[in-house]
């Protein structure tokens, strides 16, 4: 509050959730990551394929916060309102942390499934001309990597819009 009272310009309280951009080698890889991101609470995520085939995945959420507090040095809100905003911002920070943790756990789970799926031998199929060829099992990101529910996030998955949900990709001692 003392620093805010001394401000001569505009002051804004701002919280921005995780934004992660990933360049993927193949579209199916981006689709798996996209499914994991959506299931983890990053509802504003999307895939972009460029003209030259570059596949980018953007992992984003919509639970940001930006509130003006002062204008040209004049405090526009009460101290009580600032305390209220800080509580909301801290809840959003915790929610962001939980979503990141859920994303990390679900990604590990999806990658383990992908490793297991790719380790099975390919099926030999006879075509109409009686020649043999090898067919890979088709990927279905929704079915193969649907909602990742673990003991840690089972309760969180029940109410994805609850501001108390969070995720962390950093080790505990980071």
How many domains is the chain built from?
1
Domain of 45, in residue numbers: 2-120+136-158
Structural domain includes residue 165: no
Extract the tokens encoding 6.
Answer: 């001394």
Specify the CATH number for the domain of residue 144: 3.30.1960.10
pLDDT of 148 reads 60
Question: Would residue 73 be called left, alpha or beta, if left means φ above 0 and alpha means ψ between -120 and 50 degrees?
Answer: left
Q: What mean pLDDT do residues 106-111 have?
A: 91
Element (H, E) at 95: helix 79-119
Structural domain includes residue 61: yes
Structural domain includes residue 96: yes
Structural domain includes residue 169: no
Structural domain includes residue 29: yes
* Better pLDDT: 165 or 58: 58
Residue 118 pLDDT class (50, 70, 90 cuts): low
Structural domain includes residue 126: no
Is 165's pLDDT higher than 90?
no
Structural domain includes residue 107: yes
Task: Name which of 61, 73, 3, 15 is nearest 37 in CA terms.
Answer: 61
Structural domain includes residue 171: no
**Structure confidence by residue, pLDDT tens digits, 7-48:** 889 999 999 999 999 999 999 999 999 999 999 999 999 999
* Better pLDDT: 165 or 72: 72
pTM for this entry: 0.63
Is 144's pLDDT higher than 80?
no
Percent of the chain with pLDDT strictly greater than 90:
55
Question: Would residue 167 be called left, alpha or beta, if left means φ above 0 and alpha means ψ between -120 and 50 degrees?
Answer: beta
pLDDT of 114 reads 74
């Amino acid at each position: 509050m003392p620093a805010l009272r001394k401000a001569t310009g505009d002051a804004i309280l701002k919280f921005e959730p995780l934004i992660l951009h990933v360049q993927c080698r193949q579209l199916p890889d981006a689709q798996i990551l996209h499914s994991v991101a959506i299931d983890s609470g990053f509802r504003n995520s999307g895939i972009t394929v460029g003209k030259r085939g570059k596949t980018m995945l953007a992992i984003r959420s919509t639970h940001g916060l930006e509130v003006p507090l002062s204008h040209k040095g004049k405090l526009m809100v009460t101290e009580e309102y600032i305390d209220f905003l800080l509580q909301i911002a801290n809840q959003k920070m915790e929610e962001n942390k939980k979503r990141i943790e859920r994303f990390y756990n679900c990604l590990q789970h999806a990658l383990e499934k992908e490793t297991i799926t790719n380790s099975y031998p390919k099926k030999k199929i006879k075509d109409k001309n009686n020649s043999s060829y090898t067919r890979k099992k088709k990927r279905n990101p929704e079915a193969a990597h649907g909602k990742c529910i673990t003991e840690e996030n089972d309760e969180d998955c029940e109410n994805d819009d609850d501001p108390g949900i969070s995720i962390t990709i950093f080790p505990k001692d980071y």
